[in-house]
Amino acid sequence: MSLTNEERDIIVEHRLANAAETLTEAKDLINLGHWRGAANRLYYACYYAVSALLIKYEHPTRTHSGVIGLFGKYFVLTNIFGKEQNKLYQKLFDLRQDGDYSDWIKIEEDDIKPLLRPAEQFIAEIKNLINQTN
């Protein structure tokens, strides 16, 4: 099913709002010292932003690995976003996976705090790119 431009714009705005709300949740969890939860929320904040970008440019996907792959294909390989941003997104995915599914990996403050500012910048850059194309 293809979307109209209006439908696509509504979904994109919804995903960007989810990214902003989820980023706030991540900050709250960081302030409380809940590192595993913060890893989850940081990843999802970026996931919502990246998925909004993909939808805006008509590259939707239904899986997390699909979002990562299409982001790389359409936005990293084309130098719209840098390899460092791709590494950040992949690192957040890996941390979220570890925190959610691994019984043996403990996520610590030093794993999360250095990622907050880059994640905020990543989301802001995505939002700026989306807004430039409106």
Q: Is the dihedral of CA 116, 117, 123, 127 positive or negative?
A: positive
Pull the structure tokens for residue 80. 């719209």
**Closest by alpha carbon to 89, among 110, 113, 64?**
64
Separation between Cα atoms, residue 30 and residue 42, nearest integer Å = 10
Instruction: Report pTM.
Output: 0.95
Separation between Cα atoms, residue 15 and residue 32, nearest integer Å = 26
Separation between Cα atoms, residue 70 and residue 54, nearest integer Å = 8
Q: State pLDDT tens for residues 24-35.
A: 999 999 999 999
Domain 5-132: which topology?
A: Four Helix Bundle (Hemerythrin (Met), subunit A) (1.20.120)
User: Hey, where are the domains in the chain?
Assistant: 5-132
**Closest by alpha carbon to 10, among 57, 52, 62?**
52
Q: State pLDDT tens for residues 74-117.
A: 999 999 999 999 999 999 999 999 999 998 999 999 999 999 99
**Axis-axis angle for helices 35-56, 83-101 (nearest 10):** 130
Has residue 1 got a pLDDT over 60? no
Q: State pLDDT tens for residues 105-118.
A: 999 999 999 999 99
